[in-house]
Amino acid sequence: MSDTIGETPFDITRRLFKAAPFIERLGVELEAVSAGYCQTSLAVRPDHLQQNGVVHAGVIATLADHTAGGAAASVLGAGAYPLTAEFKINLLRPAKSDRLACRARVLKAGRTLVVAESDVVCADGAGEVLVAKAIVTLAVVANDRSERA
């Protein structure tokens, strides 16, 4: 993702999050990164809710997907970035909380694909409740700005 020598996985992943306008607009906050791991959070706003007052599935899926991308980015070299190729999400229960947290870890990092899993939880003072689990497959894409899809 970068040609800067000495960058940490957190630096690389922070740049990935800052460069994504939709993620910034959604309000996803990067909390922690290490090799093969990424943790994020989201302060739930009224515009994140669906008609019944619970967090919209699209918000939860986006949080799970992008956090998995952060975990994948943390294990890639400077000349590549992750791009979601496929994901599956299980929405286990309604998300009713003021705050969501997501933790993703790389299960397998290959030369062309990375597989990661994400857990999304409702987080409050009483503890955490698992609301979704995702498996995300990400393509390893060369960071060539002249390449067009």
- pLDDT for 146: 44
pLDDT of residue 8: 75
Q: Is residue 122 part of a domain?
A: yes
pTM greater than the 0.75 cutoff: yes
Q: Which residues constitute the domain of residue 33?
A: 9-142
91: left (phi over 0), alpha (psi -120 to 50) or beta: beta
In a domain, 27, yes or no: yes
Look at residue 10 in the predicted model and tell me its pLDDT: 78
Q: Is residue 92 part of a domain?
A: yes
**Residue 149 within a domain:** no
Q: What is the mean pLDDT of residues 74-95?
A: 93
Q: How many CB atoms lie within 10 A of CB 111?
A: 7
Beta-strand ranges (E) seen in 92-145 are 99-109, 113-124, 127-142
31 assigned to some structural domain: yes
pLDDT value at residue 148: 43
Tens digits of residue pLDDT in 22-78: 999 999 999 999 999 999 999 999 999 999 999 999 999 999 999 999 999 999 977
Adjacent-strand bridge partners of 140:
82
Q: Which pLDDT does position 54 carry in this prediction?
A: 97
129 assigned to some structural domain: yes
Q: How many CA atoms within 13 Å lie on the side-chain side of 68?
A: 31
Q: What is the pLDDT of residues 130-148, one digit of tens each?
A: 999 999 999 999 987 544 4
Question: 1 in a domain, yes or no?
Answer: no
Instruction: Give how many domains the chain has, as a whole number.
Output: 1
Residue 147 lies in a domain: no
DSSP string covering 58-95? HHHHHHHHHHHHHHHHTTS-TTEEEEEEEEEEEE-S--
115 in Cβ contact with 136 (< 8 Å) = yes
Whole-number pLDDT of residue 125: 74
Q: Where residue 88 sits, what CATH number does that domain have?
A: 3.10.129.10
